[in-house]
Amino acid sequence: MKEPVEGPLFTARTCREYLKMFNLNPPDLRDLRILDCPGGASSFTPIMAAAGFDVRACDIMYGEEPGILGEMCREHLRTLTEALKRIKDTFKWEFYKSPDEMLEKRLEACSCFEESYRLNPALYIRGDLRELPFDDGEFDLVVSSHLLFIYEHRLDREFHRKALEELTRVGSEVRVYPIVRENGELADYARELINDGMRGVDVDVVEVDYEFRRGGNRMLILRS
């Protein structure tokens, strides 16, 4: 592992959430080059980097000032929480016991990200998911959460194709979670990949010990 980077004391709840949704065991990650893409305002990269892991995050929104990103994150979380309260029964409240607890922990994660982004800007690389600024095979593991498949109604098939081609180009193994749409049904493009495969890539589906959106307890693994 790399030497731990400078940073604040981080909350661990949302990092544990990442580990569960991607079925990751920290001791197995010690010698891996890891990319979180799109990284958003997750606490995964700050916490893992502070613990000495070789991890970076990439997102189209990086490049903004820390305070601006932090406020964008907080505004999004508050809006999301109010929306979830209206459809609370469509989610499983186990990892988080209530929408308010989820908001509390994710706001902590947002502050964690904002501080790390300010102190360690080299960890955060601006990039479009369809044209990533990395070399072929630069990472051993890429994790990608809550963009592909879940927003299939907004992001078309061509976006998904290009994004997955790029992720598998830069990473030897890519893990994507979830593979369901917002309504909990398996996304059409995920079903296509599972049934028909992807050229030059091994496709697998693995059940994980995490389910927030009902039906969302599986991830897609792509190995190039």
pTM, entire model: 0.93
Cα 220 from Cα 147, distance rounded (Å): 13
Percentage of residues in the chain having pLDDT higher than 90: 81
How much is the pLDDT for 13? 72
Does 2 score more than 70 pLDDT? no
What CATH number is given to the structural domain containing 218?
3.40.50.150
Provide the residue range defining the domain that includes 66.
1-224
How much is the pLDDT for 16? 87
How much is the pLDDT for 3? 56
Structure confidence by residue, pLDDT tens digits, 141-192: 999 999 999 999 899 999 999 999 999 999 999 999 999 998 889 999 999 9
Structure confidence by residue, pLDDT tens digits, 37-88: 999 999 999 999 988 999 999 999 999 999 999 999 999 999 999 999 999 9
Does 18 score more than 80 pLDDT? yes
Calculate mean pLDDT across residues 108-124. Answer: 94
How many CB atoms sit inside 10 A of residue 59's CB? 21
CB-side exposure of 152: number of CA atoms within 13 Å? 19
Single-letter residue type at 157? R
Calculate mean pLDDT across residues 89-114. Answer: 92
Does 107 score more than 70 pLDDT? yes
Does 212 score more than 70 pLDDT? yes
Number of domain units in the chain: 1
Angstrom CA distances, 20 to 13, 27, 44, 211, 213, stand at: 11, 14, 12, 9, 14
Average pLDDT along the chain: 92
Cα 218 from Cα 208, distance rounded (Å): 6
Cα 142 from Cα 174, distance rounded (Å): 5
* Confidence category of residue 5, pLDDT binned at 50, 70, 90: low
